[in-house]
Amino acid sequence: MTVGETRALDDLPGQPEPSARMMRPRSLQSPNRALSRSRPRLSGLIRFGGFLIFGFNLVSSACADVVLPGLVTNLVCRYDFEHPVTTNAARETDLGFSKTDLNLINGGAAMRVADGAYPGSTNALQTQQINSTTSGNDDWKAGVYQTNGVASLSAFASVAGITLMGWVKPTGTNPNLDTTTAATNDYYNAIGLFGLLSGNSEGHGVRALLEIITVGTNYQLVALGRRLDSGNSLTLAATNDWPTLLPSNTWTHLAATFDFDNGVMALYRNGSPLGATNTTTGNRWNITAGTDVTSATSPAGIKLGGSYPQNTQEFNALNGRVDDLMFFNRVLTAGEVQQQFASFFAVTSAPPVLAISQSDGYVTLSWPTQSAGFALESRTNLAPGDWLSVSNVPATNGQTISATLPVSATQQFFRLNKP
């Protein structure tokens, strides 16, 4: 075996079979969840001077996806901001079936921040107004846009219903000064959250939207939908004031359903329905006695944290963070919205990865700062018995915690454990 070669533990000759419990970090043990039968696997193995050094990363079936199995077939788009596009970190991978990757506009990869909304989430997306006094085009927002419709979003064409949901955390001043006017005290009449554009949108008009807009003289959390591209929109406004529903520096889960066949929308907060009323009366969506669906066009895109995802204009900036956005091409029931919200807290978070490198007779073991609180432990074998704390004090550097040890004449195994 050469220096730096890695092999799974079960590929190494003469190694005892480790138990899942022995290698499982205590923070992942739960009295309500059976222990995984997955074996620990090596995250690194180094041969140096004839001695072997091992480190482990647990692969566990307990770390399941948070999406309810019954919703997967209708999950068109999902963005958890943990998956940069491999060739371009300024884009985010769509985990839904449409594969419509998002552009992280003006801030690029720096917009991902270590502030997950729920247990097991690591990153969120930061959006913000950059300059409140100068007309420009530098606000941090996200989205995708095509003038004639984004082909990969065709699952939202001719549909009877749509559901949008995601986590939101206001982190600064909202609403924001309107940089498109000369007045120094003129504010935008909306705070952009997230939504799907209509098929003929110029970057602002929508088919389905969750946003904070001015209703009368007050800003309110709303669901705003438009069934037909050239038709009227309908707005459902939450009864409670928006700062109560979306408190600053607090993660809140929001959802909105758009039943285009029956002319009904609904708002949810942390899995529970919100009191809300339509801001207008009448048949705004031209609902008929038959089955009513949206226009047969693909949405022109997705907007997040502000309008105009083609980045031609800054508008309705959000100073805040978003996490785990999900767009479905049907109306979820109230029970499904509640169950999906609960599922964010039912999944055991993934264990941290322990990385290993060697140089000049020393071995460095490192793991993410998001896993602060884990202790580095070692043993000379994998027989049953106690693990010993590594005495070297770990150092924190940016997003990494690390400990550096001299290579010894003794085989060593390492793990991360949360006391």
Asked if residue 401 and residue 301 are part of one domain, the reply reads: no
Asked whether residue 91 is assigned to any structural domain, the reply reads yes
Asked whether residue 385 is assigned to any structural domain, the reply reads yes
pLDDT number for residue 79 = 98
Asked if residue 193 and residue 53 are part of one domain, the reply reads: no
Q: Of the candidates 343, 370, 389, which is a domain's last residue?
A: 343
pLDDT number for residue 349 = 54
Higher pLDDT, 19 or 54: 54
Asked if residue 339 and residue 355 are part of one domain, the reply reads: no
pLDDT at residue 275 is higher than 90: yes
Residue 371: both structure tokens together: 């896993």
pLDDT digits (tens, 9 = 90+) for 277-300: 999 999 999 999 999 999 999 999
Domains of the chain: total: 2
Taking the mean position of all CA atoms in its chain, how far away is CA 74?
A: 18
pLDDT digits (tens, 9 = 90+) for 329-378: 999 999 999 999 999 998 555 667 788 888 888 888 888 876 667 888 88
Asked if residue 288 and residue 248 are part of one domain, the reply reads: yes
pLDDT number for residue 36 = 29
The domain in which residue 183 lies consists of 69-343
Q: Of the candidates 297, 313, 343, which is a domain's last residue?
A: 343
Number of H helices, E strands in the chain: 3, 27
Residue 144: both structure tokens together: 């995708």
Comparing 3-17, 37-51, 278-292, the range with the smallest average pLDDT is: 3-17
pLDDT number for residue 1 = 27
Q: Of the candidates 298, 318, 343, which is a domain's last residue?
A: 343
pLDDT number for residue 37 = 30
pLDDT at residue 35 is higher than 50: no
Helix locations, 151-203, DSSP H: none
Asked if residue 336 and residue 354 are part of one domain, the reply reads: no
pLDDT number for residue 54 = 53
Asked whether residue 409 is assigned to any structural domain, the reply reads yes
Q: What's the CA gap between 207 and 196, in Å, rounded? A: 6
Asked if residue 356 and residue 336 are part of one domain, the reply reads: no
Beta bridge pairs of residue 272: 269
pLDDT number for residue 8 = 31
pLDDT number for residue 33 = 30
Residue 270: both structure tokens together: 């942390």
Asked if residue 397 and residue 326 are part of one domain, the reply reads: no
Mean pLDDT of the chain: 84
Residue 356: both structure tokens together: 């290993």
Asked if residue 79 and residue 58 are part of one domain, the reply reads: no
Asked if residue 267 and residue 389 are part of one domain, the reply reads: no
Asked whether residue 172 is assigned to any structural domain, the reply reads yes
| CATH code, domain with 303 | 2.60.120.200
pLDDT digits (tens, 9 = 90+) for 83-122: 999 999 999 999 999 999 999 999 999 999 999 999 989 9
Asked if residue 399 and residue 369 are part of one domain, the reply reads: yes
Q: What's the CA gap between 250 and 235, in Å, rounded? A: 25
Q: How confident is the model at residue 223 (pLDDT cuts 50, 70, 90)?
A: very high
User: Strand 124-127 to strand 112-113: parallel, antiparallel, or no bridges (unpaired)?
Assistant: antiparallel
Q: What's the CA gap between 80 and 246, in Å, rounded? A: 20
Asked if residue 245 and residue 148 are part of one domain, the reply reads: yes
Asked whether residue 266 is assigned to any structural domain, the reply reads yes
Asked whether residue 110 is assigned to any structural domain, the reply reads yes
Cis preceding linkage at 175, omega within 30: yes
Q: What's the CA gap between 95 and 34, in Å, rounded? A: 27
Asked whether residue 1 is assigned to any structural domain, the reply reads no
Beta bridge pairs of residue 103: 91, 143
pLDDT number for residue 298 = 98
Burial of 377 (0-12, 13-18, 19+ CB in 10 A): middle
Q: What's the CA gap between 50 and 47, in Å, rounded? A: 6
Asked whether residue 371 is assigned to any structural domain, the reply reads yes
Asked if residue 99 and residue 199 are part of one domain, the reply reads: yes
